[in-house]
Amino acid sequence: MAKNAQLWETQEIADKYLSGVRGAIPLAAEQTEVMLRLIKAAKVKVDSLLDIGCGDGILAATILEHFPDAKAVLIYNSEPMIQEAQQKLNK
């Protein structure tokens, strides 16, 4: 596997992203809000969601907050980020 592909597998890189980089993403909160509005505008029953490339689970957490009966499957190639997502979703 290429060295860059393995970066996200380390706790150090995951921590660095979570503590600083996420806050520097332009319009991150607005992107999540737009996604939520699109889902609501579709007027479909949200009983499940698949989040591929979930990172720390921020999008899935937002969707589940508005659709608490839905079930989610989150996929990511970094165990530290999946652990962050699990913590976020178990709150």
Domain limits of the chain?
3-89
Q: Are 48 and 74 in contact (CB under 8 A)?
A: no
CATH architecture of 3-89: 3-Layer(aba) Sandwich (3.40)
DSSP 64: H
Burial 15-43 (b: 16+ CB within 10 A, else e): eebeeeeeeeeeeeeeeeeeebeebeeee
Q: Are 36 and 62 in contact (CB under 8 A)?
A: yes
Whole-number CA gyration radius for the chain: 14
* 21-39 confidence digits (pLDDT tens): 565 566 777 888 999 999 9
CA 35 – CA 25 distance, rounded (Å): 16
For residue 52, what pLDDT is reported?
Answer: 95
Lowest mean pLDDT: which of 18-22, 28-32, 71-75, 84-88?
Answer: 18-22
pTM over 0.85: no
